[in-house]
Chains A and B, each alone.
Chain A
Amino acid sequence: MAVFYLVAFLSIFFSLLVIFSKNPVHSVIYLIITFFTFTIHYVLLNAQFLAIVNFIVYMGAIMVLFLYVLMLLDLNVNSEPVKSSLMKIAGIVAGMCLLVTLAGALKGSGFLPAGAHEEVVQRPNLGLVKNLGQVLFHDFLLPFEVSSLLLLSAMVGAVLLAKREPREI
């Protein structure tokens, strides 16, 4: 439990730093650390696959994308527009709505059908890569295979759209 509390504290601490740091690049780096603490959470919950995906996709791919966009936008303190008080109020309202929703969701977790919690407790190895692989390559083999079409068409399309046209239209 001690590890959990430490990691949970770190997650909250770094998420707060994401919001409060002035420099957007620092913000993104703190976000990476926050995601890393999430990865530790997943490992603690015995969800290996989620941990790996979180590590590779979120920390790796998506954060690189973020940094890249920041680099292209060339944000710095001077060019940042001043937020009007209306925006701040809107932000507070939206944040509070989210808080209410989350609180309601937690309170309403009694809605979960009986047995949903026990399933996780009874089968602690549910999130292991081995079990996931068995489901993915047996029950869900067809969707897995068919998603290759999705990736292929997206790839062909990306190349098509990005390639330079030799002549004007």
Chain B
Amino acid sequence: MNALITISVLAVLVLYLGLYKANKALLPVTLLGLAVALFFTINHWNVFTGPTFNDMMSYDNFAVAFSGITITSTMLILLLSKGYFEKISDHVAEYYSIILFSLAGILVMVSYHNMTMLFIGIEIMSVSLYILAGIRKQDFASNEAALKYFLMGAFSTGFLLFGVALIYGAAHSFDLEAIKMHLETNLQTGQAISPLFYTGVVLMAVGMAFKVGAAPFHFWTPDVYEGSPSLITAFMSTVVKTAGFAAFLRLFATCFYPLHDFWMPVILVITIITLFAGNITALYQNNFKRMLAWSSISHAGYMLFAIVSLGSEASYGVFVYAIAYSAASIIAFAGLVLMQANTGSDSFDSFNGLGRKNPFLAFTLTVAMLSLAGIPLTAGFIGKFIMFSNALSSMHTWLVVLAVINAVISIFYYFRVIVAMYFKDAERAELEIPLNFKVVLAISVVATILIGIWPAFLPNVI
């Protein structure tokens, strides 16, 4: 709770800093505040006693772990933002504060214990993102992204809310524990569970799949990710996606778990469609940013594995995968931002010859691509490994076979970047990499390789 309060107050404070034109102080104050929030979050580790605030929130280790990742990723992304928003407009303070509001919503999303909190958290996050997607007011792509995201998001919220209402109608409660109790007692006594409940579960699954961008509800993703400013896309595809999965997992793993046999096939089908749609379409992209958008859809598919095969390792799997994916994506987007700032282009060809001129950037991008593809000794491999072994232990053998085929497909398009950087020559000037980018790239690469070599370094969530 302290973290949530800190971030909310910080957002208002940043607005005031903007009011008094203290633009130099914005970034340091924001980072400092986030560090304080991170400290408060970590302080909650292993002190969970039960849901608080009339059972609205539960700050268990799951919540702490995911709050930690999201706050850290936000800090890394904000570090990249030095001088970025100034190019878009003069109202820099508002951008920071909206990102912070969005993060506050995310903290609610990962630690809710009541469906009203889930809904409010998702809405705070989404409303902020609709605005962030459209902050390039003169750019048609950005306008399109904002409008599309808003319409699709409002639509999916409708699904989610309808699901919540139906579940309330069947179970007479918004509380996750009470709903689970309702299911368990009904299943034990052999009483029929109301059809309203089943409809509600499916509607909520659809709503959540929209939010995490899983196929067949992914159509907004590529356009929104491509149209938004790159840094905002980085925020959306790392922090927001992680939070979406945390919320998804908490809902299905704790609350709807007794109905696992009912909803598992639904999620299974969504997973398979997501994997194929994401990977196969990513193959045909010539634009690095759009490729990242489609690859983020395919990664949503891998993360859905945890929900299909709920086991003891499910939360840990999503945790590791989210860290691996966030770290690699931050590197990729940092590279993209640099490339766009210097060459104004984001096609694969603009990476030609980067290996010779900017060995450090090329190396970090290579590590990121290897991690995203799931090559051993990177964090991405560990993430995929935990997901797959989890799925195998719950007898989803052919799902793993399909996923491995997809991983092989994905290697192809990730390697296009590496090939462009090292094996294609082009006349180019050396990119100038500011210090803050170097720091972020170094931190992300170290995290990626460290987890890849020594996964036990991360604490087990459950």
Contact = CB atoms under 8 A, between A and B. Distances in A.
A binds B: yes
Interface of A: 108, 111-113, 116, 138-143, 146-147, 149-150, 152-154, 156-161, 163, 165-169
Contact of B170 (A113, A146, A157, A167): A113
A169 B138 CA distance: 7
A143 B120 CA distance: 7
A167 B86 CA distance: 12
Given A142-B57, A142-B117, A161 B134 contact: yes
Main secondary structure of the interface of A (DSSP, over half): helix
Contacts of B130: 157
A141 B448 CA distance: 41
Contacts of A150: 105, 120, 123-124, 127
Contacts of A140: 54, 56, 116
A157 B98 contact: yes
Contact of B101 (A108, A143, A149, A165): A149
A111 B131 contact: no
B108 A146 contact: yes
Interface in B1-49: 4, 8, 11-12, 15
Contacts of B89: 165, 169
Nearest to A153: B101
A132 to B, nearest CB: 14
Given A150-B120, A169-B136, A160 B90 contact: no
Contact of B117 (A146, A152, A156): A146
Contacts of A112: 169, 194
B457 interface: no
Interface in B252-276: none
B169 A169 contact: no
Contacts, number: 98
Contacts of A167: 90
Contact of A156 (B88, B97, B139, B169): B97
21 contacts: A108-B195, A111-B195, A142-B57, A143-B114, A146-B4, A150-B124, A152-B101, A153-B98, A153-B131, A154-B127, A154-B131, A156-B98, A156-B101, A159-B94, A160-B131, A161-B134, A165-B89, A165-B90, A169-B87, A169-B137, A169-B138
B398 interface: no
A141 B114 CA distance: 12
Given A138-B54, A156-B97, A169-B138, 7 more contacts: A113-B172, A146-B121, A150-B127, A153-B97, A156-B101, A163-B91, A169-B136
Contact of B131 (A138, A161, A166): A161
Interface string B110-123: 00001011001101
A153 B117 CA distance: 17
A149 B105 contact: yes
B117 A143 contact: yes
Interface of B: 4, 8, 11-12, 15, 53-54, 56-57, 87-91, 94-95, 97-98, 101-102, 104-105, 108, 114, 116-117, 120-121, 123-124, 127-128, 130-131, 134-139, 169-170, 172, 194-196
Contacts of B12: 152
A160 B170 CA distance: 42
Given A112-B169, A113-B194, A140-B116, A157 B54 contact: no
A111 B98 contact: no
Contacts of B120: 143, 146-147, 150
A150 B123 CA distance: 7
A22 to B, nearest CB: 30
Contacts of A160: 91, 94-95, 98, 131, 135
Nearest to B104: A149
B36 to A, nearest CB: 18
Among A159, A160, A165, find the residue whose CB has the most chain B CB atoms closer than 10 A: A160
A108 B169 CA distance: 14
A159 B11 CA distance: 16
A161 B95 CA distance: 11
Give the one of A112, A113, A138 with max B CB within 10 A: A113
B453 to A, nearest CB: 40
Interface centre among B104, B105, B124 (most CB of A within 10 A): B124
B131 A146 contact: no
Nearest to A113: B194
B410 to A, nearest CB: 35
A161 B136 CA distance: 9
A153 B91 contact: no
B53 to A, nearest CB: 4
A73 B165 CA distance: 35
Contacts of B108: 146
CB-based closest 8 A-B pairs = A157-B131, A153-B101, A142-B56, A142-B53, A143-B116, A160-B94, A150-B124, A169-B138
B131 A149 contact: no
A146 B8 CA distance: 10
A151 to B, nearest CB: 9
A166 B124 CA distance: 29
A150 B130 CA distance: 12
B116 to A, nearest CB: 4
B56 A111 contact: no
B103 to A, nearest CB: 11
